[in-house]
């Protein structure tokens, strides 16, 4: 295990939300310590991390001190300021690497990269002005969806066009931010592949999960997904192609639309992914541990699933159902320790364990 | 859920070892914070707990400050000084309660309590002097085993008597500490029941596991254990009898010898137990979460097992096998973050997931 970080080393994590929290727990399970960098106080990851740099991303001295206090740096969200990454990278390796971040931070770059790899995406057109918008609508048509190129998540920064008449309002919704008009995809369902690539280049994928969204937020992931054997193979091969092309190290979430014409890549996330939470109760090595293994240079788990799982997000008022869920047989509850319940806020998730893998 | 501690409350844990570590992780999963009290620095639990009082058990001010900073107090080991417990209990509830601690801290009290409940134990005799020893050997005979009444663990503070001639050396081994001579039990195997009792009195047991010890230290726990249906029922009923008699709140480990004459109680531990680690990968709610649920007043998980598991402790040089274990399919590795590997030291454990519950 050349280049493996010794046990007891410290993993720096940018971001202190629930993904950082579950990464910290997984790191501890493998005997590593964690240090998070997160401007907010009392954040989910701070409850279980060894150290917390509660500093801003424009605080150069803090970034340097953070980098020097850890052995490797990873992250739980992709929208990290480039200036901060430049400072950090001068001191410690960042895994997954900068190229994956650069590509996934911008929808235009991402879709272009995927197409160049030979992977299908929704048709798209760049929209930076009213003129662009007119050209884009004439090219892509409607129904379609206008999305900000950067900083979108959980359905935020998106506007639907039912017809060409919605173009103006949609553009106003973007508030001047560069955007992408994406054509409508006639898909039967959405699946995602949680794929990992190790420091020595090996790739391992978890079984694809089937995702259901509501109001742009993931509601449930069901494993196994409805996929034919050949679709399953295709999904895994295309995920591997993306990881290899990026010389990627870590876990990536790859969202796919299942259509009659084949699989279409919706988007990629260079991090552990909400649709991979089921692995906590369905696999010997879950996505969080898999990511940590990759980042510290340990061999990956093989992704083997020992049980079927339905993962359900607990969003906002879903927390009212907690007393009942805690009494539900085979329900594994995972809460994020967020002080306030707000509408649309991810407060936790439940893995309903459905028994032996089929 | 009357008397349930609100989410975000802080659970105080006495002791900072691996059990405290895994209790902290389980507490976080349910949205609670943890504060450990442990004199040692860089201890396993400190890596994942919110707060760490690195103070001694004779530091009255620190104990009061600790108690006031938490909402309820639990513990990962039973040999807590009574003086410390007195101080803590004046400020916050201690769960499991004092009676369970009093009984399990002394082998004589424990065996007497069990016999009074109508439960079988090995024959025993109190040994506080050379005269006691002569009387004990004449009553109990040999082979037998002399054990210190207090502070024994993992086979420490024990001396075997192959014949009556070993009596003198055995007594010297006790170094003047009050001891108990226990008669030899002709058992086929040892099992343990990890039982839990909630704040409102409900009892839930995990499936009994079969334990194999080496040099007095637990080596493996295999689930399911070799037990007939009626033995399984007996095991669960007797565990429940113990918990109810103590008005117990939390998880208890009950070690049983399986003999032709029935089940004999070896010892009880008023805490999460090494032989319950398999539940982390075999149950929706593991023993650590079960303990936290009891302590904060949440409903218990039902103990349902969704898979068969063989738990193997990683002791001392077993850590040399780590590279191989990390590559083993269906092996879930749990390390404790201890800085130094020492012979006989528990460094971690592996749950080998054997598939669907049979």
- A259, pLDDT greater than 50: yes
CA distance A174 to A358: 45
Which of B30, B337, B339 has the CB atom closest to A28's CB atom?
B337
The hierarchical CATH code for the domain B10-94 is 3.40.50.20
- B221, pLDDT greater than 60: yes
Q: What is the pLDDT of residue B68?
A: 98
- B223, pLDDT greater than 90: yes
Q: What is the per-residue pLDDT across B33-51, written as a single tens digit (0 to 9) for each?
A: 999 999 999 999 999 999 9
CA distance A6 to A3: 9
Q: What is the DSSP string of A202-235?
A: -EEEPPPEEEEEETTEEEEEEES-S--HHHHHHH
Q: Does residue A33 belong to the interface with chain B, where contact is any CB pair within 8 Å?
A: yes
Q: What is the pLDDT of residue B74?
A: 98
CA distance B77 to B23: 12
Residues in chain A: 358
Structure tokens at A288: 């969080």
Q: What is the pLDDT of residue A356?
A: 64
Q: What is the DSSP string of A252-297?
A: EEEEEEEETTEEEEEEEESS--GGGGGGGGTBSS-HHHHHHHHHHT
Q: Does residue A353 belong to the interface with chain B, where contact is any CB pair within 8 Å?
A: yes
Q: What is the per-residue pLDDT across B333-349, written as a single tens digit (0 to 9) for each?
A: 999 999 999 999 999 99
Q: Is A239 helix (H, G, I), strand (E, B) or coil?
A: helix
H or E stretch at A34: strand A33-37
CA distance B208 to B301: 16
Q: What is the pLDDT of residue B153?
A: 65
Task: Indicate yes or no: CB of A31 within 8 angstroms of CB of B329.
Answer: no
Q: Checking DSSP bridges between strand B72-75 and strand B10-14, what pairing results, if any? A: parallel
pLDDT band at B358 (very low <50, low <70, confident <90, very high): very low
Q: What is the pLDDT of residue A358?
A: 47
CB B256 within 8 A of CB B235: yes
Has A155 been labeled as part of a binding site? yes
Which of B31, B46, B329 has the CB atom closest to A337's CB atom?
B31
pLDDT band at B1 (very low <50, low <70, confident <90, very high): very low
Residue B124: CB atoms within 10 A of its CB come to 22
Which among A344, A336, A281 has a CA at the least distance from the CA of A310? A281
Rg (CA), chain A: 20
Q: What is the pLDDT of residue A26?
A: 98
CA distance A7 to B272: 26
- A244, pLDDT greater than 50: yes
- Quote ipTM for the complex: 0.93
Beta bridge partners of A267: A255
CB A105 within 8 A of CB A268: no
Q: What is the pLDDT of residue B175?
A: 85
Phi then psi for residue A164, to 5 deg, are -60, -25
- A53, pLDDT greater than 80: yes
* Helices vs. strands in chain A: H and E counts, helices first: 10, 17
Task: Indicate yes or no: CB of B25 within 8 angstroms of CB of A25.
Answer: yes
Beta bridge partners of B37: B14, B53
Which among B242, B289, B298 has a CA at the least distance from the CA of B270? B242
More confident of the two residues B165 and B12 = B12
Q: What is the pLDDT of residue A154?
A: 67
Q: What is the per-residue pLDDT across B152-195, written as a single tens digit (0 to 9) for each?
A: 766 678 899 999 899 889 998 888 899 999 999 999 999 999 99
CA distance A131 to A356: 55
Beta bridge partners of A209: A192
A156 to chain B nearest CA, in Å?
Answer: 27
Q: Domain ranges in chain B?
A: 10-94, 123-183, 189-356
Q: What is the pLDDT of residue A1?
A: 46
Q: What is the pLDDT of residue A155?
A: 67
Q: What is the pLDDT of residue A156?
A: 75
Using CA coordinates, name the residue in chain A closest to B42.
A50
Has A107 been labeled as part of a binding site? yes
Residues 6+ apart with CB under 8 A from A323: B1, B299
pLDDT band at B216 (very low <50, low <70, confident <90, very high): confident
Q: What is the per-residue pLDDT across A129-172, written as a single tens digit (0 to 9) for each?
A: 999 999 999 999 999 999 999 876 666 788 999 998 998 899 98
CA distance A105 to A78: 6
Q: Is B299 left (phi over 0), alpha (psi -120 to 50) or beta?
A: beta
> Over chain B, what is the mean pLDDT?
95
From residue B94, alpha-carbon distances to B62, B72, B244, B253, B269 in Å are 17, 6, 17, 18, 16
Torsion of CA B84, B85, B87, B91, to 10 degrees: 140
Residue with tokens 């509408």: A343
Q: What is the DSSP string of B241-309?
A: HHHHHTT--EEEEEEEEEETTEEEEEEEESS--GGGGGGGGTBSS-HHHHHHHHHHTPPPP---B-EEE
CA distance A350 to A353: 9
Q: What is the per-residue pLDDT across A61-102, written as a single tens digit (0 to 9) for each?
A: 999 999 999 999 999 999 999 999 999 999 999 999 999 999
Residue with tokens 């009387």: B135
Task: Indicate yes or no: CB of A356 within 8 angstroms of CB of B353.
Answer: no
A8 neighbourhood in chain B, CB within 8 Å: 337, 339
From residue A150, alpha-carbon distances to A103, A254, A306, B146 in Å are 11, 18, 37, 71
Q: What is the DSSP string of A161-206?
A: ESSGGGHHHHHHHTTT--EEEEE----SEEEEEEEEE-TTS-EEEP
CB B295 within 8 A of CB B32: no
Task: Count CB pairs under 8 A between chains A and B.
Answer: 105
Q: What is the per-residue pLDDT across B117-142, written as a single tens digit (0 to 9) for each?
A: 999 999 999 999 999 999 999 999 99
Using CA coordinates, name the residue in chain A closest to B300.
A327
Q: Which of B33, B46, B306, B353 to mutate to test the interface with A (most CBs of A within 10 A)?
A: B306
Phi then psi for residue A166, to 5 deg, are -80, -5
Using CA coordinates, name the residue in chain B closest to A332.
B284
Which CATH superfamily includes the segment(s) B189-356? ATP-grasp fold, B domain (3.30.470.20)
Q: What is the pLDDT of residue B2?
A: 60
pLDDT band at A312 (very low <50, low <70, confident <90, very high): very high
pLDDT band at A176 (very low <50, low <70, confident <90, very high): confident
CA distance B241 to A316: 41
A301 to chain B nearest CA, in Å?
Answer: 7
Q: Does residue B7 belong to the interface with chain A, where contact is any CB pair within 8 Å?
A: yes
What is the side-by-side strand order in the sheet with B179-183?
B124-127, B179-183, B144-148, B158-161
Q: Which fold has domain A123-183?
A: Dna Ligase; domain 1 (3.30.1490)
- B293, pLDDT greater than 70: yes
Least confident residue range of A100-109, A246-255, B163-172, B344-353: B163-172
Which of A33, A332, A336 has the CB atom closest to B285's CB atom?
A332
Q: Taken in order A330, A334, A339, A344, is the CA torsion positive or negative?
A: negative
Beta bridge partners of A351: A311, A332
- B355, pLDDT greater than 90: no
Distance of CA B323 to the CA centre of its chain: 29
Residue with tokens 């531990």: B269
From residue B24, alpha-carbon distances to A124, A299, B19, B179 in Å are 47, 27, 9, 34
Q: Does residue A330 belong to the interface with chain B, where contact is any CB pair within 8 Å?
A: yes
């Amino acid at each position: 295990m050349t280049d493996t970080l010794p046990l007891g080393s410290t993993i720096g994590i940018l971001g202190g939300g629930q993904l950082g929290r579950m990464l910290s727990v997984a790191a501890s399970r493998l005997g590593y310590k964690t240090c998070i960098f997160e401007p907010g106080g009392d954040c989910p990851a701070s409850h279980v991390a060894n150290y917390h740099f509660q500093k801003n991303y424009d605080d150069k001295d803090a970034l340097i001190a953070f980098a020097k206090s850890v052995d490797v740096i990873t992250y739980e969200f992709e929208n990290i300021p480039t200036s901060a990454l430049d400072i950090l990278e001068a001191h410690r390796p960042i895994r997954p690497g900068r190229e994956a971040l650069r590509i996934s931070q911008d929808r235009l770059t991402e879709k272009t990269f995927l197409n160049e790899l030979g992977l299908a995406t929704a048709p798209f057109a760049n929209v930076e002005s009213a003129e662009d918008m007119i050209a884009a609508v004439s090219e892509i048509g409607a129904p379609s969806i206008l999305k900000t190129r950067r900083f979108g998540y959980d359905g935020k920064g998106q506007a639907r066009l039912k017809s060409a008449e919605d173009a103006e309002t949609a553009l106003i919704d973007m508030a001047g931010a560069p955007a992408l008009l994406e054509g409508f995809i006639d898909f039967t369902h959405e699946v995602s592949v949680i794929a990992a690539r190790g420091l020595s280049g090996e790739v391992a994928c978890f079984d694809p999960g089937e995702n259901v969204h509501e109001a742009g937020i993931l509601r449930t992931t069901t494993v196994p997904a409805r996929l034919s054997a050949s679709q399953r193979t295709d999904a895994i091969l295309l995920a591997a192609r993306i990881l290899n092309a990026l010389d990627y190290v870590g876990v990536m979430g790859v969202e796919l639309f299942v259509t009659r014409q084949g699989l279409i890549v919706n988007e990629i996330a260079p991090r552990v992914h909400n649709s991979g939470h089921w692995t906590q109760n369905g696999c010997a090595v879950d996505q969080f541990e898999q990511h940590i293994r990759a980042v510290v240079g340990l061999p990956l788990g093989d992704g083997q699933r020992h049980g079927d799982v339905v993962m359900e997000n607990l969003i906002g008022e879903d927390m009212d159902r907690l007393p009942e869920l805690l009494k539900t047989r085979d329900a594994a509850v995972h809460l994020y320790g967020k002080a306030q319940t707000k509408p649309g806020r991810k407060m936790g998730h439940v893995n309903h364990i459905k028994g032996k893998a089929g």
